[in-house]
Amino acid sequence: MAKNQCPTPHIGAQYGEIAKTVIMAGDPLRAKLMAERFLENPVQINNVRGMLGFTGDYKGKKVSVMGHGMGIPSIGIYSYELFNFYDVDTIIRVGSAGSIHKDLNLGDLAIAMGSCHNSNYACQYELPGVYAPIASFDLVRKAADSCEKFGYHYRVGNVFSSDSFYTENAHNDKWINMGVLCVEMEAPSLYMNAARAGKQALVICTISDNILTGEAMSAEARQTSFTHMMDVAFSII
């Protein structure tokens, strides 16, 4: 598919309808929430496969929000098309994660500086070694500064991104020993797509459950505290 040949197989927007900065969430309804909460005059630009997307204005800047589905392959498809066909420059994912770090509690934020993973996504590049997917440092620094400004408790570091939600052998203790913060399911392909396209990406997660203690947020708590990562994402664009 040629560059700028839009719509794509998975995104129904025309070229130019998606902003240079896109904030994404796994749940398309969370994208709808962001559009309603943060954007002025939001216009729906995608509903292919129910993956809602909207473009509007945030403090005078054109911004898009969109769902990306669950898992490394799903966000890999959407972020690839956004970077390569719609000329998006920056994608920030806001999502949930399970803590495996003693200093990350329910409602805290994890800024994914890097992503350990068990995915084969990098195999397509045929690299002569093991690739380490990392975020844009500029976005990491801005996100950390924003958390300080808002007074949100956060940690910056490695996350573990898994291809499996239900697994018989999680080996969380081994990741804990390496100082990994939490478990999520999307960062590597987003970071690799951004690197390959020469673009910027960042993942900010809210701790929705604690794998070490078994604690988990209620549905009501998710609705209130999940907006903290959105506050940070919008503040750094």
Provide the greatest CA pair distance for the chain. 49
The half-sphere exposure of 180 on its side-chain side, counting CA atoms within 13 A, is 25
Active-site amino acid positions: 209
Looking at residue 86, what DSSP letter applies?
S
Contact residues for 132 (Cβ-Cβ < 8 A; gap 6+): 114
Q: How far apart are CA 117 and CA 51, in angstroms?
A: 25
Element (H, E) at 28: helix 28-38
Tokens linked to 227? 């907006």
> To which residue do tokens 């503040």 refer?
235
